[in-house]
Amino acid sequence: MKAVIMAGGKGTRIASITKDEIPKPMLTIGDKTILEHQIDCLKKSKIDEIIIVIGHLGEKIKAYFNDGSKFGIKITYFEEDPNKPLGTAGSLYYLKEKIAEDFILVFGDVFFSVDFNKMIEFHKHNNSAATLLTHPNSHPYDSDLVVVDENNVIKCFDSKENVRNYDYKNLVNSGIYIFSPKVFDYVTDPKKYGLEKDVIAKMIENGDKVLSYHSTEYVKDMGTPERYYSVNADYANGICEKRNLSYKQKAIFLDRDGTINALIPFLVHKEDLQLIEGASEAIRLINSSEYLCIVVTNQPIIARGESTIENLDEIHKRMETLLGKDGAYIDGLYYCPHHPDKGYAGEVPELKINCDCRKPKTGMLIQAAKDYNIDLSESIMIGDTTLDIKMAENAGMKSILVLTGEAGKDQKYEIHPSVIADDLLDAVNIIFNNKRRGR
C-alpha cells in the first residue's frame, strides 16, 4: 500500500519557530524530524512507497530525504507551485495516475504513533470508500467535529464555526485517512480543493461509505508552538509510543454516577447532570498520562423503560461537552442497558436478562480490553459502589473506592478496595503520586 504525505503548507501559525527557514514537517521531535517519525511509523505497517506533496520550502524536504533509499523506503514527490496552492486535496488530481489501489493519506504537521495495520484491517473489512481516524481531544469546543451513527458511519461534519448551543460527542478528525480510488472521482479539475469540505463531505452526500475509525492512539497536530512543545514533552516522557495499539495498553476505568457526576439515582434528564468538583481536573491528569480513560456504567433505565438509548446518548453528550469545556475527555464509554428484575411499567422484555456486562460482571471491561488492546492486570477501576470494586476484583484489577456518591454504602458485596479516596481527583493523585488535596 502507498501513502501520501501532504507537506506543502506554509505553516504560518508556527512561523515563530520555523522562522520561515524550514518547512514545518522538518521540525524535530526528539532527534528526528516529524517527517522521519511519520515515515518510520508507516514502514512498520508495511507501507512500501510514499509520495510527499511539497510546496513552500519543499526543496529542503527533497534534499533531505531524496529517493528515500537511506530510510529504507521508496519516496517520490509532487511539487506544488507555492504561489498557486492547491489546498488540502487539489494535488490528488495529479496523483490519480500514480495510485491504483487504496492508500493512506496524512498531513505532514501531524505527529502520530499509530498501528496502521489495525486501521487498514478495519477499512478493508468494511469495504469503505474512505476511513477517517477519529479521536477525542482537549479542545472540542474550537474543533471541527465528526458526527457518526451507531455503525461508525460518518453522517456529517459539525464545523467549529457553528454556534454550538447544544451538546455534542467529542469526536475529532485527526488528519489521518485511508481512501479507495473512489476519492479521485471528486477531484476532477486542476484547481484548489479542501479535503474535508470539497471531497469527503461530497462523498457522504452521494452515499459513499465513509467511516470513523475511533482510535485512542497518539495523534496531535503541530500547527501551533504550544502544541509543538506539548508533543515534544510527551515524546520525551515516552507517552507517544506507549499509546500505539500494537502495544498492550493500561487504562483507568471510571464509574459514571457518583464518581464523575453527582449522584442522581436513575438519571434520565441531561439537564440534571453536574460534574463533581475536581472531576475534570482528574480526567485531564489521566489524559496527559500513558493511561486510557474509559467509562463503564450500569444503565438499567433502558431495560426499565425509563429512558431510550437516544436519550442516554444525549446524557453522555452532555457529560462530554462539560468535560470538553474544561479541557478533558474520555477515550471510550461502555454501558450495560440490561436489568434482570421484572415488574416495571414500560420495561423492555428483551433487555430483562441476566447478562454478562452488568456490574459486578466483567463484560464491559473485557469488551474494552478487546477494542483497545488493554492489559486489565495493569489497569485500575475507580468507583463509588461495591459493584465497581467487586467487578475490579473479578477482573483481577486494582481498585479505588471514592467517598462520593454511594461511598460504598450500597453494601451489596463484601469488598476489599486497594485504596479509599475522598473523590476522583484524590484517587487520580494517589495513582500518580501527586500531592493530595487537604493532606
Active-site residue list: 255, 257
Query: What whole-number distance in Å separates Cα of residue 198 and Cα of residue 207?
Result: 15
Kindly report each contact of residues 403-411 with a partner whose C-beta sits within 8 Å and lies 24 or more positions away, as own/partner: 404/258, 404/259, 404/263, 404/276, 405/255, 405/257, 405/258, 405/259, 405/262, 405/263, 406/258, 406/263, 407/258, 408/384, 410/385, 410/386, 411/386
Q: Which residues contact 179 (CB under 8 A, 6 or more apart)?
A: 102, 103, 105, 129, 130, 131
* Alpha-carbon span 58 to 38, nearest angstrom: 17
- Which among 381, 327, 374, 335 is positioned nearest to 358, based on CA atoms? 335
Q: How far is CA 37 from the centre of its chain?
A: 20
Tell me, what DSSP letter sits at residue 12? Answer: G
Paired with 402 in beta bridges are 421
Query: What letter represents residue 26's amino acid?
Result: M
Half-sphere exposure of residue 337: CA atoms within 13 angstroms, side-chain side: 16
- Sole residue written with cell 463531505: 201
